[in-house]
Structure 1
Amino acid sequence: MEAAVRLIPAVTLVLLSCFPAAESSRRDVLELGDADFDYLATEHETMLIKFYAPWCGHCKKLAPEFDRAATRLKGTVQLAKVDCTAHSETCARFGVSGYPTLKIFRNGKDSAPYDGPRTADGIYQYMKKQTGPDSVLLKTEEHLHTFMDHYDASIIGVFSGADSPRLSEFVRAAGLLRDQFRFAHSVELKLGEKYGVNSECVLLFRPPRLANKFEDSVVVFKDYLTIGSLRRFIRDNVYGLCPHMTVENRDRLRVRDLLTAYYDLDFHHNSRGSNYWRNRVMKVTSKYSARGLTFSVANKKDFLSELEEDFGLGTSDGGELPFVTIRTKLGHKYTMREEFTRDGQSLERFLDDYFSGLLKRYVKSEPVPERNSASVKVVVAESFDQVVNDPDKDVLIQFYSNSCPHCKKLELVYKELADTLLSDKKMVIAKMNAVENDVPSGYDVQGFPTIYFAPVGRKDEPIRYEGARELKDFLKFLKREMSHSLVDGGSKDEL
């Protein structure tokens, strides 16, 4: 008994020590309400505020990530939250209509919506970039060199004085774009002399790690400065001839037709080796960049799942040599099957074939079914054009996923529809697994099931089906949209 008594305090101490960390994490998130919002928010230069409802499932999922981020950002950026069920006045004032809504505040004023990641690490990394002024003041040439010697690009404005109207416009632009780019400014015009300018201008310094002999490392903007013109200048020049594509910037790069060379790129630990293959891509770039194709390099490890999913690349494919793809803005995909040669000749041949229209598009597809006699026709990517784009037939196609419960619920009704219309030789009821097959452009599939109707004469303008999912609803829709009279096989439903 005595031994048991001695154990109790030890166990109690262990249990108590489990709670303070979680509790302190929650205390790092400031709670704001209608009565004290303005007073407390103005005390902090930068805040990330979460507007939430206690019953919201997404809010509950975000809460522990938000709490952990608050602890990591303590002393740098204050994280706060507002319960909109208890403080509706504040939430209405800032236009909160859904939960959770995250907003960045500066000195108590709504500055920008938060559109970054919603994990603890993602919130931490995103908000670290939000600290400090929108544009850093540089007083000396040493300050300028220190700022531009960075992993990322630097946009530096040089102005004649603190009262320059161009400076105020530059700082406004920096406030809007600071989550994407780094900004600094100086009121010493002499800092621009080294770069061949002696009047107010903006200097764009590409990252030193990407310096090369094929393009200038510094680009000068001298046009009339507005937020729009500066945004366009940065967009058109910041990436250069062959940028380093990352998970963060890939969407911005893919607004154009893009060639990417994937390999073991690591500018942090092996800058020379990383630039070896990049320089070989750039040597070829100068011959083709004027033809509407942009170029990039990327770390293969960062995009392995995407390469496997979109291009059928195995983890060992290519070895140490780059794996080259082209992805157009319409979603068409091509892969270079020839081994990347160090002289760049294989890449040139690949590009010549691409621009000559000789390359076959890479399409992720299940095998074309040997037998396809069921009333609901199975379509795969390789047979999509033959079946769905048949110029003589109207086609209703369902995009589904095997794991989707709504798709399984629809299965019986969809088969009944196909059976009902089986005698109509000008009508096809079809389905395609959108996880295992590439979805063609023109079909926006974000969830399952998604249903489209491709009528005769309008194959390039498929109609999305948004109605109810009962047999009579499908039949009513088809009767209205079909290019011919509906043959319903004796359906008892009144049309």
Structure 2
Amino acid sequence: MHIRSLLSPSTALVLVSLVAASSASDVVNLTALSFETVVGPEPLVLVAFCTSWSGHCKALAPHYEEAATALKAKNIKIAKVDCVAEPSFCEAHEVQGYPTLKVFRYGSRVDGYPGTPQADSIINYMVEQSLPAVSEVTTANHEEFKNASNNSRVVVTIAYVASSTESPAVEFSAVAEKHRDRSAYVFGLSTDEDAIDAAGVTPPAIVVYRSFDEPKTVYPGLPISAVSNFELEEWISSLSVPVIDEISAENYAVYINSPKPLAYLFLDPSSPDKEVYIEAIRPVAQQYKPQVNFVWIDAVKFVTHAKALNLKDVKWPAFVIQDLGRKHLAYPLDQSMDVTPEAVGNWLQQFLDGKLEPMLRSAPIPEIQYGPVSTVVGKQFNEIVLDDSKDVFVEFYTTWCACGHCKRLKPIWDSLGEKYAPLKEKITIAKMELLANELPPSAPFRVSSVPALKFKPAGSREFIDYDGHRTLEEFIAFVKEHARNNLETPVVPTEGEGVGQIPLGAETR
């Protein structure tokens, strides 16, 4: 029997201390050619995608070296890829910043590493990943296991089957494996007849236990032996959140990881009508629960989030839908309208019918473009960035960009703009600040880290990520390689060639 748990900090520290005696690296160096032979046969590998020039990669290196040595005894490998030497391989694995750590099982990527860049955190996480995704449930631990949901928002799902090899045990295990990184889910499997009797079900059966709404729900599909992974996952996911709940830092990941749109009801928690609004909306939330997750949120505490969802006025209650599957676009209900069940229901139905347009953040359109780099705002993205007649090179940044990369890049990016200023009819060097401006649905990408540099050749809608050294010389070389327009700077004739020649006898100053 095994119930999943993290290692204690002391255990992790003991493992870390084992590395002191070893100076040789236990980190495997990977290339595109060696990946299949090294990672393919392994049940669990953590791969660090790095570059030699990244300061963050250099800072991480001793931590994954320590973790690799500590995990060696458990046959868990840590490997690294040099993305300067293997740019295409890193791009194929959707590496957008450095360092990026990803978990692989038998050569297939399963998830990104969510922990901190510390040796003990890496060790804890990888040891947990090596444990079974499904715990064995017997008479001895049945009550304790299913009651794990009583003191938290954890959803406990138990499959009661006659054999661990029959359906739906196989499908159940596949769903559990997919959700092993999500702390809101716990999966168990029981073939114990006494435990099955205690559950009051006839095998095969799958039961969800939770501390909210209906505390016990049996899978309704028949025959259950024919259930698919998708059907099972959808059912468990739908039961993992209440009909309407307060969203907070503790449960935010549960909602943000769901493929469903998220409907927010912004409320002032001190208002005497708070519960009245929640209960009034509850029937609407119940009606649309198969398609949309509902939450209420503290509008006073999270007023910044309200602004991020394009609610303009500090006026509560307010209602907005966020499409998590479509670049997190926001659809706020007009704040001049009363937030009634009828208004919310109509807004939801229009959203689901595809009749609503998202509201996008955008700074005012500049009356004049100052400097050699064009400033792009949300309202002008299509006009400037998607201009088919020009090659376009864009920097996406934020004003906070705390690590300093954006600040260091600015003078170099300005110099690049100056370099191509004489060719502004053929190429645009641009920048877009992402706090005040939002990417429209027409943007075929999302920006997950800043600064992000993307190049669009003329006549194309494909964007090429720039991952090289951030120097003027390498930027110019990159533009020359990918531009479709002729970007040769016109040669200005010198004196004696006619144009610009000073006439004989003319006055000079």
**Alpha-carbon distance between aligned partners in 2 of 1:465 and 1:432, rounded to the nearest angstrom:** 16
1:155-234 matches, cutoff 5 A = 155-160=157-162, 177=179, 179-186=183-190, 187-188=192-193, 198-205=202-209, 207-211=210-214, 217-220=217-220, 222-224=223-225, 228=229, 232=233, 234=235
- 2:297 maps to which of 296, 299, 308: 299
**2:257 is matched with which residue?**
252
Residue by residue, what CA displacement relative to the aligned partner does 1:372-394 show, whole Å, maximum 9, x if unpaired? 14322111122222211223332
Which string of whole-angstrom CA distances, capped at 9 and with x for unpartnered residues, describes residues 64-119 of structure 1?
xxxxxxxxxxxxxxxxx99469x57937942134799999xxxxxxxx99845789
Q: Which residue of structure 1 lines up, in the alignment, with residue 85 of structure 2?
A: none
Shift of 1:249: 0.7
1:31-89 Cα shifts (integer Å, max 9, x gaps): 553899xxxxxxxxxxxxxxxxxx985699x9xxxxxxxxxxxxxxxxxx99469x579
- The alpha-carbon deviation at position 453 of structure 1 amounts to 1.8
| Secondary structure of 1:248's aligned partner | helix
SS of structure 1 residue aligned to 2:326: coil
Matched, 1:334 2:338: no
* Matched AA of 2:482: E
Correspondence 1:137 to 2:133 = no
The match for 1:40 is none
CA distance in 2, matches of 1:193, 1:88: 42
CA apart distance, 1:411: 3.2
Residue 279 of structure 1 is matched in structure 2 by 282
Q: In structure 2, what is the Cα distance between the partners aligned to 1:394 and 1:361?
A: 28
Q: Give the equivalent residue in structure 1 for 2:50.
A: none
1:456 maps to 458
Tell me the distance in 2 between the aligned counterparts of 1:208 and 1:88: 38
Cα distance, 1:370–1:342 mapped onto 2, change above 3 Å: closer
Question: CA–CA distance in 2 between the matches of 1:379 and 1:345?
Answer: 39
Q: In structure 2, what is the Cα distance between the partners aligned to 1:323 and 1:33?
A: 54
Q: Secondary structure at the match of 1:155?
A: strand
- Given candidates 74, 77, 82, the residue that maps to 1:95 is 77
Cα 1:34–1:278 shift into 2, 3 Å: same
| Structure 1, unpaired ranges of 5+ | 1-24, 37-54, 63-80, 104-111
Residue deviations 1:329-359, cap 9 Å, x none? 1212211124675751111332354356554
Q: What is the DSSP-based 3-state SS (H/G/I as helix, E as strand, rest coil) of the residue aligned with 1:362?
A: coil
TM-score by length of 2: 0.60
User: Residues of 2 paired with 1:34 and 1:412: CA distance?
Assistant: 43
Structure-2 change in CA distance of 1:113 and 1:275 (3 Å): same
Which amino acid in 1 is paired with 2:76?
A: F
Question: Which residue of 2 is the match for residue 33 of structure 1?
Answer: 18
Deviations 1:120-156 (A, max 9, x none): xx99x99999999924434799889856756443312
Q: Partners of 1:141 and 1:208 in 2: how far apart?
A: 16
Note closer, same or farther for the CA distance 1:457–1:239 as it changes in structure 2 (3 Å cut). farther
**Which residue is 2:363 aligned to?**
366
- In structure 1, C-alpha distance between the alignment counterparts of 2:483 and 2:356, rounded to whole Å: 36
Deviation of the 1:309 alpha carbon: 5.7
Q: 1:152-203: CA deviations, max 9, x gaps? A: 4331222347x875697567975774544233455338957997x6332212
Relative contact order higher in (CA < 8 Å, ≥ 6 apart)? 2
Structure 1 residues 192 and 277, CA gap change in structure 2 (3 angstroms): farther
Check conservation: 2:157, 2:188, Cα contact below 8 A: yes
SS of structure 2 residue aligned to 1:210? coil
Distance 1:412 1:35 in 2: 44
Q: Secondary structure at the match of 1:456?
A: coil
SS at match of 2:208: strand
Other structure's SS at 1:419 match: helix
Q: Give distance in 1, aligned partners of 2:347 and 2:117.
A: 40
The CA deviation at 1:312 is: 4.5
Match of 2:475 in 1: 474
Deviation per CA, 1:439-485, whole angstroms, max 9, x where unpaired? 454344344432212233213x2222334444444344333333322
Distance of aligned partners of 1:341 and 1:191 in 2 relative to their CA distance in 1, 3 Å threshold: farther
TM-score between the two structures when normalised by the length of structure 1: 0.61
Percent of aligned positions that are identical: 17
Q: Measure the CA separation in 2 of the matches of 1:100 and 1:373.
A: 36
Contact 1:420–1:488 (8 Å) recurs in 2: no
Counterpart code for 2:208: L
Who is 2:496 aligned against?
Answer: none
The aligned amino acid for 1:336 is L
- The aligned residue for residue 350 of structure 1 is 347
Question: Partner amino acid for 2:298?
Answer: K
2:324 and 2:133 map into 1 onto residues whose CA distance is 38
Residues 396, 451 of structure 1: 8 Å contact kept: yes
Residue in 2 aligned with 1:42? none
Which ranges in structure 2 are unaligned for 5 or more consecutive residues?
1-8, 22-56, 81-98, 104-110, 494-509
* Alignment size in residue pairs: 403
- 1:442 is aligned to 2:444: yes
Task: Give distance in 1, aligned partners of 2:60 and 2:392.
Answer: 38
Aligned partners of 1:100, 1:258: CA distance in 2, in Å? 28
Q: What is the alpha-carbon distance in structure 1 between the residues aligned to residue 141 and residue 450 of structure 2?
A: 58
Over the aligned positions, Cα root-mean-square deviation in angstroms equals 5.4
What displacement does 1:406 show?
3.5
Tell me which residue corresponds to 2:89: none
